[in-house]
Amino acid sequence: MAWRKLTNSDGTPYYVNLDAVTHIYRTESGSWLMLAGRSNQGYAASINVKETPAEILSGVDLS
């Protein structure tokens, strides 16, 4: 499990479990992360963060 401390656009820190991230979209000012919840609840969420996809995934084994 890979956790990252990320920062949203107003400076609030988020601790994100990267195992729950389904998509990362690059924006001019950072990234949007799409997160999946429990499969039996059909929950999904998104957050906007200042970090780029490369910064978010730095050091993460994607194999």
Cβ count within 10 A of residue 35: 17
pLDDT score recorded for residue 45: 84
List CB contacts of 30: < 8 A, sequence separation 6 or more. 9, 48, 49, 50, 51, 52
On whether the CB atoms of residues 40 and 25 are closer than 8 A, the answer is no
pLDDT in tens, 27-41: 999 999 998 876 666
The SS3 call for residue 4 is strand
The full length of the chain comes to: 63
pLDDT in tens, 4-56: 999 998 999 999 999 889 899 999 999 999 988 766 666 778 899 999 999 99
